[in-house]
Chains A and B, each alone.
Chain A
Amino acid sequence: SQQGEEDPQALSIQEGENATMNCSYKTSINNLQWYRQNSGRGLVHLILIRSNEREKHSGRLRVTLDTSKKSSSLLITASRAADTASYFCATVLYNFNKFYFGSGTKLNVKP
C-alpha cells in the first residue's frame, strides 16, 4: 500500500506543549499534505510540502519532509485546546489522481 501511516495513533498533551506527529510512506511522491479533521466530518487542508522541499512553516505549524527516509513530521508549537482533532497525512503520487490517506493521529490537548 502506498498509504501514509501516522504515528502515534493517539497523543495527549497539556496546553502550551508542542505536539509532533509523524507520517511514513512507501513510494516516491509528488507532494505530501497534512489535513485536520474535527468530529469525524470534513477535512481541512493545513499545509502542503513538495518532494523537493525539506521544511515548511505556516503559523504554529512546521512540516518537515525526508524523502530518503520516506517520512514527514508535523509539529504544532504552543498547542491550544482548540487544536484537539485528528490529523492525517496524505501522499500524492506523480501523475496519479489519488490521495492516499493514513489512519490519522488523534491529538488531545488538555486545557
Chain B
Amino acid sequence: GAGVSQSPSNKVTEKGKDVELRCDPISGHTALYWYRQSLGQGLEFLIYFQGNSAPDKSGLPSDRFSAERTGGSVSTLTIQRTQQEDSAVYLCASSLVVAGGPSGTDTQYFGPGTRLTVL
C-alpha cells in the first residue's frame, strides 16, 4: 500500500477484556516496530520484527502483551486482560531495511496509530 495502515483507529474497551490491534506495513518493508505513546509523552518501544528472525520483545511491558507477524507482513498486537494503564496510542512503523545496520540510512514510516481507551 501507499503507507502504513492501522486498525482500528479508535478502540474503547472494558477493563479485563482482550484487544487486538492490527498493522499493515508498507509492502516490501522487512522491519516492523510497535510503540506505545501515553498522553503527552514520548514513544515507548514495545517490539520489533525483522524478516523471519525472532522478534525483539524486550520492550513489552508485561506478559499480557504479545505480537505476531504473519507472512512477514501484517502484524497483530494483542493485549490480554486490559488494564486502565494500557490506555494510550499504539503506533506501528515499518522500514525497508534494518535501521541502525551497516547502511544506517533508513527511516521509519509510521501509521496513524490506534487510540486505545480502557474504561
- A: which residues have CB within 8 A of B? 3, 30-31, 33, 35, 40-45, 48, 50-51, 88, 90, 92-104
Q: Which residue of B lies closest to A106 (CB)?
A: B40
For the residues of B in contact with A, the DSSP-based class is loop
Residues of B with C-beta under 8 A to A95? 100-102
- B: which residues have CB within 8 A of A? 4, 31, 33, 35, 37, 39, 41-43, 45, 48, 50, 56, 59, 89, 91, 93, 98-102, 104-105, 107-113, 115
- What is the CB-to-nearest-CB distance from A31 to chain B, in angstroms, rounded to a whole number? 5
Q: Which residue of A lies closest to B6 (CB)?
A: A42
Residues of B with C-beta under 8 A to A45? 107-109
Inter-chain CA distance A35–B111, complex, in Å, is: 13
Inter-chain CA distance A101–B41, complex, in Å, is: 10
Residues of B with C-beta under 8 A to A104? 42
- What is the CB-to-nearest-CB distance from A51 to chain B, in angstroms, rounded to a whole number? 8
Q: Which residue of A lies closest to B44 (CB)?
A: A101
Cβ A98 vs Cβ B56 within 8 A: yes
The residue from A31, A33, A88 contacting B42, defined by CB atoms under 8 A apart = A88
